[in-house]
Amino acid sequence: MQRRFERKLIRACLPFFLLIACVAPAAQTEPVVQVDSVLTWSHPAPWFGGFSGVEVNADGTRLTAVSDRGRVVQARMVREAGRLVALELEENAPLKGADGKALRGQMRDAEALALDDTGQLYISFEHDHHVARLAPESGVTTPLPRHDDFAGFAPNAGMETLAAHPDGRLFAAPEGGGPTSGPIPLYAFDGTAWTIAAEIPRHGPFLPVDADFAEDGTLYLLERTITPLGFRSRIRSFDLTAPGLGEVTLLTSGPGQYDNLEALSTWQDAAGQTRLTLLSDDNFFVMQRNEVVELILAKPGVEG
């Protein structure tokens, strides 16, 4: 019954979806979002895929990603005149616990990465909801203390987003149960304990899947929803110090415009432009792909 309803709904809404897809680029809220690169990343290894978290280094030459099948990978980002044209896999390792043993089953379900200003990587997990320090070369993870709320997250709706603030704090948010389940709690870790630092409003069917902070403290939130015509993505920005959090919608994609974008990293290029690097989770499904999308946030009136 539910699927029959969804099919009827999508047929009724199809003209609206197509209209949104056509007009979205002209209706973007400042700053202007420019799509700089879209490519597919592939490798023959059977473990390759399922990427759910990503971090790009300060100069955009190296990428670290984690998969929900328990693997951390590092790759060189090949660029031509600044534009990303390829990724070359360099290193990979299975994720391990603090005892050095490989994580198994649901315990290896990594969902997000964060990189702080000291170069320390952090990783978040679903099912066994927690955040840990990560040594990417070995794959060893060392858990941080947990907030009491973490134990109450649904098994597959936990720590989807993780971001390191320039002031050194870690921020994390759960995917949550649905668009009507209230605002998204944003947890902050100060090195000792987690507290709820803010609540992000939900709008529509989108659920949070990753986030990252820019150098100026702006939080960029990647969200996703699934329709019968494919995945849709949305990116919002927030100023956690502003009244109402200074919410701005930067991008809303049409159905199937991109694959299952689940990971986001923000960095600044040599020209001073803020770039967002996005990575998709192919779910190890032949009809999907590991897609890399790179966006430039251009200042109003500046040509790309």
Instruction: Assign 182 a pLDDT band (cuts: 50, 70, 90).
Output: confident
Distance CA 235, CA 260 (A): 14
Residue 193: CB partners within 8 Å, gap ≥ 6?
A: 145, 147
Look at residue 7 in the predicted model and tell me its pLDDT: 41
Number of domains observed in the structure of the chain: 1
**Secondary structure element (H or E) that encloses residue 122, with its range:** strand 121-125
What are the backbone dihedrals phi and psi of residue 245, each rounded to the nearest 5 degrees, phi first? Answer: 65, 10
Is residue 10 scored above 50 in pLDDT?
no
> pLDDT class for 178, splitting at 50, 70, 90?
low
Query: For residues 188 and 128, what is the distance between their CA atoms, to the nearest angstrom?
Result: 19
Is residue 174 domain-resident?
A: yes
The predicted structure's pLDDT at residue 69: 94
pLDDT digits (tens, 9 = 90+) for 145-170: 999 999 999 888 889 999 999 999 99
Q: What is the pLDDT of residues 229-267, one digit of tens each?
A: 999 999 999 999 999 999 999 999 999 999 999 999 999
Helix (H) or strand (E) holding 123: strand 121-125
pLDDT of residue 30: 59
Residue 157: per-residue pLDDT: 86
Domain that holds residue 244: 27-298
- pLDDT, residue 180, reads 54
Among 204, 258, 229, 235, residue whose Cα is nearest residue 13:
229
Per residue in 32-80, pLDDT (tens digit) is 899 999 999 999 999 999 999 999 999 999 999 999 999 999 999 999 9
Q: What is the CATH number of the domain that holds 204?
A: 2.115.10.20
The residues that bridge with 55 in the sheet, in sequence order, are: 64
Asked if the structure places residue 240 within a domain, the reply is yes
Q: Is residue 268 included in any domain, yes or no?
A: yes
179, part of any domain: yes
Tell me the DSSP string of 238-282: E-TTSGGGG-EEEEEPPTTSS--EEEEEEEE-TTS-EEEEEEE--
Q: Please state, in angstroms and rounded to a whole number, the distance separating the CA atoms of residues 175 and 157.
A: 5
Q: Is position 304 within any domain?
A: no
Answer with the residue of higher pLDDT: 10 or 247: 247
Q: Is residue 113 part of a domain?
A: yes
**Mean pLDDT of the chain, nearest integer:** 89
pLDDT digits over 126-142, tens only? 999 999 999 999 999 99
Supply the pLDDT for residue 298.
Answer: 80
Residue 261 CB coordination number (10 Å): 25
Domain assignment present for residue 196? The answer is: yes
Strand order in the sheet with 83-94: 51-56, 62-67, 71-80, 83-94
In-domain check, residue 257: yes
As a whole number of angstroms, the distance between CA 53 and CA 123 comes to 8
Q: What is the number of residues in the chain?
A: 304
Q: Residue 166: what pLDDT?
A: 97
